[in-house]
Amino acid sequence: MRKYTVLFDIGNTHSKIGFATKSALESAYALPTDRRSTSDALGIALQGLLRHVGISSKEIEACVGSSVVPAISSMVREACARFWGQTFLLAPEDLPVPLENRYANPAEVGSDRLVGAYAARCLMPEPRSIISVDYGTATTFDCVTENTYLGGLICPGIFSSLEALAGRTAKLPHIALSVDEDSPVVGRSTVLSINHGFIFGFAAMTEGLCRRLADTLEGPVGTIATGGFAGSLARVAPYFDSVRPDLLLEGLRLLYYK
């Protein structure tokens, strides 16, 4: 019987759930992070997800996660225990992340940033330093040199920025945040102006900050992008050495099996 680890990347806006074996992350799904839910509702949803991927609860050997939403962590812990008889292991509390943490107050670092930095180092062992960029609720830049987490930058997120703009603009049309062009054009409509302003604006921010951060790090420096919008940004900002949308889930898989 194959054994699977269920991975939970619990974020402020969305939570990713992955199914992994020792050798690979086999599938991943994104669900809204709903603080109004209950552990029973979550457990029933997880049971449905198991049926969808064709895995039985007897094939689950562990439940592992990182979370920036403590209320959801408690729900997942209760659901894993009640529905699968599994203890929910959280990084770094239950699974220490093997990086030296140079933050002034190490406890301030979000577990997602620390696990993502660890995954970046594991997946890119050659460069002396790495900049990992995560396009989530916030856009974060995390810096690693050798096996030391140095810290990084926290910037506005692309979708949260768009929501903030929509909240202050009564007639803002629906924006898909997608472009076909490789360079920005002068917008002659609101949709085009916002699409190109946001996408190429965040691309320019990414390139500029990565270059400036790289000047402060010991080289050579590698770059990796993750998060739901990483692929779209990487197409117009070809600065990254690697794009791994599920970097954090990969980090959780590596933490557990290593």
- Residue 107 CA to residue 25 CA, distance in Å, equals 28
pLDDT computed for residue 132 by the predictor? 96
Q: 87: which DSSP letter? A: P
Contact 134, 142 (CB under 8 A): yes
Q: Long-range contacts of range 30-38, CB-CB < 8 Å, 24 or more positions apart?
A: 30/228, 33/69, 33/72, 35/69, 35/71, 35/72, 37/72, 37/75, 38/75
Residues taking part in catalysis = 112
pLDDT computed for residue 168 by the predictor? 64
Domains of the chain plus CATH, in order, are: 4-90 (3.30.420.40), 100-252 (3.30.420.40)
Contact 210, 203 (CB under 8 A): no
Q: What DSSP string describes 172-205?
A: PPP-----S-SS----SSHHHHHHHHHHHHHHHH
pLDDT computed for residue 173 by the predictor? 66
Contact 140, 133 (CB under 8 A): yes
Per-residue pLDDT of the chain (258 residues; tens, 9 = 90+): 789 999 999 988 889 999 999 999 999 999 889 888 899 999 999 999 999 999 998 999 999 999 999 999 999 999 999 999 999 999 999 999 999 999 989 889 989 999 999 999 999 999 999 999 999 888 999 999 999 999 999 999 888 888 777 766 656 666 677 777 778 788 788 888 888 888 888 899 999 999 999 999 998 999 999 988 888 888 888 889 999 999 999 999 999 998
pLDDT computed for residue 24 by the predictor? 92
pLDDT computed for residue 247 by the predictor? 95
pLDDT computed for residue 180 by the predictor? 74
Q: How many CB atoms lie within 10 A of CB 2?
A: 9
pLDDT computed for residue 240 by the predictor? 92
pLDDT computed for residue 227 by the predictor? 86
Strand order through the sheet with 14-20: 25-32, 14-20, 4-10, 60-67, 88-90
- Residue 250 CA to residue 258 CA, distance in Å, equals 12
